[in-house]
Amino acid sequence: MFTQKNENESNKVDRIVLLISTIVGYVAVFIATKTGVLNPYLGAIVLIFLYMYLNFNLTNIFFVSKRTTFKVYIFMILEIMYFFMTAFTLRNIVIYFIGIGILSYLIIQDEGKSEALKIYRFLGIYTIIKIIFVLTWIVF
């Protein structure tokens, strides 16, 4: 029992280190693209993949349920498609927050109300990452 707890803690630490290294990689690719070292098209593709990988790591830190992670992945793909197919407007921001509300409701249904604090922490970090992603694309 004690060994299992240590393995989970070390696994979580490894995932957090991977999450931080992905953030550093995202910033490095963004800077390399803005300075002209990296082709803008290649930089855009790499930034999208790093954003998806960042969300993948964040989801795996907070949740282990396959149903929950699947819902978060579907929401992530839909938001990326919606972000690139429409303009950045106040209406889209409202639609995003409605989607986050629906996602939080679905996750709470799967995980239970006892995990609500963990879910709200996840959604807060997820939204902050989304805001940073949008801001980098506005500057891009």
Q: How far is CA 117 from the centre of its chain?
A: 18
| Angular region, 39: left φ>0, alpha ψ -120 to 50, beta rest | beta
- What pLDDT does residue 9 have? 65
3-class DSSP assignment, residue 105: helix
Of residues 42, 37, 62, the one with CA closest to residue 129: 62
**What pTM value is reported for the model?**
0.73
Provide the residue-wise pLDDT of the chain in tens; the chain has 140 residues.
444 455 566 677 787 888 888 889 888 998 998 888 888 888 888 888 888 888 888 888 887 778 888 888 888 888 777 776 776 778 877 888 888 888 888 888 888 888 888 888 888 888 888 888 878 877 77
Measured CA to CA, the distance from residue 134 to residue 123 in angstroms comes to: 16
